[in-house]
Chain A
């Protein structure tokens, strides 16, 4: 059964509720632990051999900043370039409009089946479900996407969506759904089964659907980065190609690929270069599709753009490096985020795209220990912790504004205001420290506090707390080096 996610109608469960479920799944935790550790190590190697990595990151960040500040101009330039190259550009305000445009194109060509290359944008719009209602079957062609589509599940990782499934489960699935006989559970046999099944679909399809990693305003060139070859198949073989992209994916010039095509593969799959990258510019006579449609979708992105701190979220190139280094993601996996965008980037992107006010997305900015590892690995330098804290503030303010006096007297709210007052006044701060030292003695045992009383018990239920030391640094300094 498909779980409701942040981009489906209705309220979404909170991260805390869903994480409980994931944490009790030992298979998932084992797979995730293995996967994230492997990718982390490999990424560090791939980045380590680049003496100019920081220069590339800065260039990537600056290019994205330039695009975001002038997004209207770049989109108009992109439209002009694609049109000049023989493509057609469509604009979609939201998911529903994007789905309607795509279904319309498919129907115009009388196609009842389409082949798709993995695209998170189409997951966001629930395109497959929409097409199904219109009588069109969409075949996912990325191996992992095929697996989860056959299982009727959702992705749990941007890059390795079926990370939660083991080979025995996949074998069962292929035998049941693809009618494969005498199948072993070796990954190469399973892959061969998928190859044969999908080869027929590729050759028969009249319409291919893709996402886009980048689109160049200057030339109209669209780019898909992949490993398996299904992206090349979908963008080359069907006579009609439809690409859905979020408006933030535009980059200024062809030459800027020299930055992004270095940053993305090493951050994403930890390779010097991914096996296949396709760049196409409108339609080419006698080579590939005869018809090309590019759908530019907003769906909440302009709301993200309007927030000067949140805006940097749109820099994201969907590499998933932040997922693999996140201590929270490593334990809970992607499903706990209830969004097509999991992990640290999802925790800031989802609530901004759908807006504050749904308990699920509102809980995401709290799904972090603010350790900052995500910021360190981000190839376009998105300051994720900064945006997380900013969004926590927005969620809290939203609660205050919406709620009556009860919310205003909410213990978290009162506590935060008290803390803010104490932290901003050195004398008050030192007084509080002394008071805490006296107050903590019944709880501090053997150098740590294992249990706090009353409402504070929630904090110590899952962690120990360091007691306030007998002497603060300022006190020590006063005693040993004179006055402060």
Chain B
């Protein structure tokens, strides 16, 4: 803002100018019109009425279609399934986010715990082999895993730098349609301003001759264990 010595403003700020330009450009809009008065018809599906079994099966199928490796396991088998998955990938150093259920943490690998008071450095994350997390939601319609930096997920860098992401999804966390996911995330975002990440399959590119290559910058392998 430029002000003359007498305190009279000579030059408008960028903000004032842009707002003035907008008001001038939209002078066809009646002064008294409120934004809500512009009708928005929401004639689309907001809830999947299929039964739970079908929704969970759809999530498993669609997550797998996007090249995530998907297994369904019972609660009692989960710890073993985790250990097996890690062994198959030869994981030695595993990143653990805060509040991960204790029974999920496997034996026989070095665990790197991230905590608010002692954060892992980016270097440590980069040099780790894998990360094990829960999630906020799964979306059946699109096979998407949603992370919201909540319990058992940790901050965003944890699921970004390690090359292998093993994610545990509880059946009851799976919603049917995309609109259901945004509805249930509303509180985390509005109330706490938490960062949200949608993950649908591993990182991918088709930039070279449209050939799909998995694993550009994010984890090259995404494995999902669905717990009944």
CA of A262 to CA of B209, assembled, Å? 26
CB–CB A66/B35 < 8 A: yes
Q: Quick one: given A191-B208, A237-B122, are A69 and B29 in contact (CB under 8 Å)?
A: yes
Task: List residues of chain A with CB within 8 A of the CB of B14.
Answer: 90-93, 97
Residue of B nearest to A216 (CB): B189
30 residue pairs of the A-B complex, CB under 8 angstroms, read: A62-B39, A66-B40, A69-B35, A91-B18, A92-B14, A142-B207, A143-B208, A144-B205, A147-B208, A160-B206, A203-B126, A220-B193, A228-B218, A232-B156, A237-B160, A257-B182, A258-B182, A258-B183, A259-B44, A273-B198, A275-B66, A276-B200, A278-B196, A279-B198, A280-B195, A280-B196, A286-B119, A288-B157, A298-B21, A305-B22
Partner of B203, one of A69, A187, A252, A275: A275
* A214 interfacial contact with B, CB 8 Å: no
CA of A259 to CA of B183, assembled, Å? 12
Partner of B200, one of A170, A255, A271, A305: A271
* B25 interfacial contact with A, CB 8 Å: yes
Could you count the A-B residue pairs with CB atoms below 8 Å apart for me: how many are there?
258
* A70 interfacial contact with B, CB 8 Å: yes
Task: List residues of chain A with CB within 8 A of the CB of B196.
Answer: 278-280
CB–CB B216/A143 < 8 A: yes
Interface residues of A in 189-223 (CB under 8 A from B): 190-191, 194-195, 198-199, 202-203, 218-221
Residue of A nearest to B191 (CB): A219
Apart from A34-B210, A302-B24, A303-B25, 9 more pairs, CB < 8 Å: A91-B14, A93-B14, A160-B207, A219-B193, A227-B203, A236-B156, A254-B182, A284-B195, A288-B157
CA of A219 to CA of B193, assembled, Å? 8
CA of A76 to CA of B29, assembled, Å? 18
Please give the distance in Å from A171's CB to the nearest CB on chain B. Answer: 10
Determine which residue in B19, B190, B193, B202 has the highest number of CB atoms from chain A within 10 A of its CB, and name it. B193
Please give the distance in Å from A31's CB to the nearest CB on chain B. Answer: 7
- Which size bracket describes the interface of B in this complex? 35 or more
A-contact 0/1 string along B33-67, CB 8 Å cutoff:
10110111111111000000000000000100010
Residue of B nearest to A198 (CB): B217
Interface residues of A in 123-148 (CB under 8 A from B): 141-144, 147
CA of A29 to CA of B43, assembled, Å? 40
CA of A55 to CA of B41, assembled, Å? 8
Residue of A nearest to B40 (CB): A62
CA of A54 to CA of B24, assembled, Å? 33
CA of A286 to CA of B15, assembled, Å? 31
CB–CB A286/B155 < 8 A: yes
CA of A431 to CA of B193, assembled, Å? 71
* A74 interfacial contact with B, CB 8 Å: yes
* B100 interfacial contact with A, CB 8 Å: no
Q: Quick one: given A143-B216, A167-B209, A254-B186, are A272 and B149 in contact (CB under 8 Å)?
A: no
Task: List residues of chain B with CB within 8 A of the CB of A34.
Answer: 210
On chain A, the number of residues with a Cβ less than 8 Å from chain B's Cβ atoms is 100
CB–CB A199/B216 < 8 A: no
CA of A72 to CA of B23, assembled, Å? 7
Interface residues of B in 62-84 (CB under 8 A from A): 62, 66
* A389 interfacial contact with B, CB 8 Å: no
Task: List residues of chain A with CB within 8 A of the CB of B208.
Answer: 143, 147, 162, 165, 167, 170, 187, 190-191
Interface residues of A in 65-106 (CB under 8 A from B): 65-66, 68-76, 85-86, 90-93, 97
Q: Quick one: given A143-B207, A233-B217, A276-B197, are A55 and B189 in contact (CB under 8 Å)?
A: no
CA of A132 to CA of B33, assembled, Å? 46
Residue of B nearest to A57 (CB): B44
CB–CB B195/A229 < 8 A: no
B-contact 0/1 string along A378-397, CB 8 Å cutoff:
00000000000000000000
CB–CB A187/B18 < 8 A: no
